[in-house]
Amino acid sequence: MQVLFTIRSADAGYGSGIVIRGLDLDIASGEFISLIGPNGAGKSTIIRLLTGMLQPVNGTVCFRGRDVKSFRTRELARNFSVVMRITGEVPAFTVRSFLGFGMFPHEGAARYSASNRLTVDATAERTGITGLMERSVNELSAGEFQLVQVARALVQSSGVIILDEPVSNLDYRHTTLVMDLLRELNRSGTTVVCALHDVNCASDYSSRIVCIKNGALFVSGAPSRVVNTAVMGELYDAEFMSLVNPATGSPMIVPVSGNM
Amino acid sequence: MNKWFRISVLLILPLAAVTVGLSLGSEAISPLEIFSCIPGGECTLRAEVLLKLRLPRVIIAMFAGAALSVSGAAFQSVFRNPLADPFITGVSGGAALGISAAVIAGMGPVAVMVMASVGSLAAIAMIYAVSAIRGITGNGLVLSGVALSFIFSSSVMLIFSMARSEDVHRIIIWLMGDLSYQGNIPVTWICLSILTAMFILFMFHRHLDIISMGRGFSLSSGVSDFELRMVILLASVLAALAVLLGGIIPFVGLMVPHLVRMVAGPDHYRLVPLSAVAGGSFLVLADAFSRSVIVPYEIPAGVVTGFCGGMFFLFYVIKNRPEI
């Protein structure tokens, strides 16, 4: 498998504070990677490092063997797409216009052409949001908007999608819809990297789980290796019981209450 | 259909505004008399004289209003802040300081304009430097704009405290927004520059759409720092050009883009041209009102835009409770 991202002994942070220390991480094409770890461990910082939004203080971040910072902004956007939470008030674009933003790195300032319209329509159909197309994005529920965000990312670049906590504020139905969509995309060749809070969700969907603690790689491996009481207990400083998800067969954990 | 109806109203607006602007004043002339002065018609002497006096003023108001609104629309999208206006980066403060210094030094009208340009350019250069050194985060730029404005306004106050009272009066008239044409500014060139800057900014309409979703979003969608800086630069230049034409006219650049957004939606393909048209028309009407409400006095147009705009906007905010 081809290696897409290579992070080597990277230190990174904001201002004078260092969040990530000496991180080494490889991400190969076709993987479905979940970054998990306690609040403030550095998951979002790693997402920002991968996407070139944040430059490491030391060390390197490479995409396909080339330093991320040597790419032009638009070139990076053509190679992978990012789904982050949009803070503040979202302007009232229609879902159709919003999906069209995904074409921007490919065509720049030109207006949406007929072929773009086809791409947008096809993506909407593939992601099951055709019914939302004429609605305004600020009228959608959080779950619907997240599906639209993933669809927009898909319009932009179907090769690699990087997501920062895509399901943290969604209900069960929309969590399943978004994660199922990501799995389906992954099966058809899209590399998925996402920061997740829900270990069981990560266990159900990922090919590899990367555990981050205190800004460093704690452990990384298939869900069957990582999701157990010993590793999770040490990662989160909490006590867990482990089970097997009867529906998927993947390992899962439940926190033992009253023992913190 | 409804949307297109509203958009066509916005296109007819400037023609109506120009007609009103030409006919109102200390002495009113009817629209029919104005139309008779279109080449080929039979123009009365009275109408010809009034048109010659009023036409430059209407043109100045139209272009200053357009520049302010487009600049405000761009800044509101860049900073994702409904309170952003053309003067948010300190351009008006820079111009005010330039003007005050020039008036106090006894410079002529042309030199005053030059100093106003130098002041606004200094403000733009400082904002650009801040964005290059500290990166472009919405709050950082807005806060440095506020800081710059305070530095400039304190300097202006310092000048006031040392100036003769007639100089202070001259400066204040200028600062209040004065659209009268005194033959001391190259109106044609400034208007052409405004058109050019607005056109270039319009070419960035898709950038602006994406920028209005936030910096993280726009960066990962492929909008580079350079492109974002270009947009900020163009919007600042538009604000500076408007200040050269008509002084510091408040509120047009804050209110008009808001209203246009309500009518035409957030798409800058429509927002930029419609803001230009609506802002220009609004200022022409405000100026016509300021010339004709207390004859023979002329209230500075800035007072009218601030007062009427403020009242209207207060009503709008209370009625619509926007999520700010």
- Residue B208, judged by CB atoms within 10 A of its CB (0-12, 13-18, 19+), counts as buried
pLDDT at position B38 over 80: no
- From B236's Cα to the closest Cα of chain A, the distance in A is 21
Positive/negative CA dihedral, A62, A64, A66, A71: negative
State ipTM. 0.89
pLDDT of amino acid B184: 63
What DSSP letter does each residue of B149-210 carry, written as one string? Answer: HHHHHHHHHHHHHHS-HHHHHHHHHHHT------S-S-HHHHHHHHHHHHHHHHHTHHHHHH
Q: Whose structure tokens read 């990582």?
A: A226
Q: Give the mean pLDDT of A203-214.
A: 93
What lies within 8 Å, CB to CB, of B221 at 6+ separation is A77, A101, A102, A104, A105, A156, B210, B213
Residue in chain B lying closest to A157 (CA): B221
The domain over range A1-76+193-260 is classified in CATH as 3.40.50.300: yes
pLDDT grade for B137, boundaries at 50, 70 and 90: low
Q: Give the mean pLDDT of B288-317.
A: 80
User: For a pLDDT cut of 90, what percent of chain B falls above it?
Assistant: 18
pLDDT grade for B1, boundaries at 50, 70 and 90: very low
Q: Which residue ranges make up each domain of chain A? A: 1-76+193-260
Which H helix or E strand runs over B64? helix B45-79
Q: What is the DSSP letter of A103?
A: G
Chains A and B form CB pairs within 8 A to the count of: 68
pLDDT of amino acid B302: 82
pLDDT grade for B324, boundaries at 50, 70 and 90: very low
- From B227's Cα to the closest Cα of chain A, the distance in A is 10
Is A84's CB within 8 Å of B266's CB?
no
What lies within 8 Å, CB to CB, of B276 at 6+ separation is B66, B67, B69, B70, B198
Is B206's CB within 8 Å of A91's CB?
no
pLDDT grade for A186, boundaries at 50, 70 and 90: very high
Query: pLDDT, tens digit, for every residue of B226-250?
Result: 898 889 889 988 988 888 888 888 8
Q: What is the DSSP letter of A69?
A: G
Which H helix or E strand runs over B11? helix B2-23
CA distance A127 to A178: 9
Q: Does B139 touch chain A (CB under 8 A)?
A: no
Closest Cβ–Cβ partner in A73, A91, A156 for B219: A73
Q: Give the mean pLDDT of A153-164.
A: 89
Q: Which residue of B204, B205, B221 is the best one to mutate when testing the A interface, meaning the one whose CB has the most A CBs within 10 A?
A: B221
Distances (CA, A) of A168 to A227, B178, B203, B316: 19, 54, 38, 36
Is A73's CB within 8 Å of B223's CB?
yes
Q: Give the mean pLDDT of A207-234.
A: 91
Q: Does A51 touch chain B (CB under 8 A)?
A: yes
Q: Are B269 and A111 in contact (CB under 8 A)?
A: yes
What lies within 8 Å, CB to CB, of B315 at 6+ separation is none
pLDDT grade for A31, boundaries at 50, 70 and 90: very high
What lies within 8 Å, CB to CB, of B297 at 6+ separation is none
pLDDT of amino acid B317: 75
Q: Whose structure tokens read 């798409």?
A: B267
- From B279's Cα to the closest Cα of chain A, the distance in A is 21
Q: Does B225 touch chain A (CB under 8 A)?
A: yes
pLDDT, chain B, mean: 83
pLDDT of amino acid A199: 92
Q: Are A10 and A68 in contact (CB under 8 A)?
A: no
pLDDT of amino acid B91: 83
pLDDT at position A184 over 70: yes
> Quick one: tokens of B40?
């080929």
> Quick one: tokens of B109?
């009208």
Q: Does A109 touch chain B (CB under 8 A)?
A: yes
Is B267's CB within 8 Å of A93's CB?
yes
pLDDT at position A177 over 70: yes
Distances (CA, A) of A207 to A24, A27, A37, A199: 19, 11, 17, 13
Q: Cα-flanking dihedrals φ and ψ of residue A246, to 5°?
A: -65, -25
Query: pLDDT, tens digit, for every residue of B58-110?
Result: 999 999 999 999 999 999 998 888 778 888 778 888 888 888 888 888 777 77
Q: Does A71 touch chain B (CB under 8 A)?
A: no
Lowest mean pLDDT among A23-32, A105-114, A180-189, B271-280: A105-114
Q: Does B210 touch chain A (CB under 8 A)?
A: yes
Q: How far is CA B113 from the centre of its chain?
A: 16
Query: pLDDT, tens digit, for every residue of B157-207?
Result: 898 888 888 888 878 877 776 777 666 677 888 899 999 999 999 999 999
CA distance A171 to B45: 75
Distances (CA, A) of B293 to B32, B286, B306, B308: 22, 10, 16, 13
Q: Give the mean pLDDT of B19-42.
A: 75
pLDDT of amino acid B201: 95
pTM here is 0.88
Q: Are A47 and A162 in contact (CB under 8 A)?
A: yes
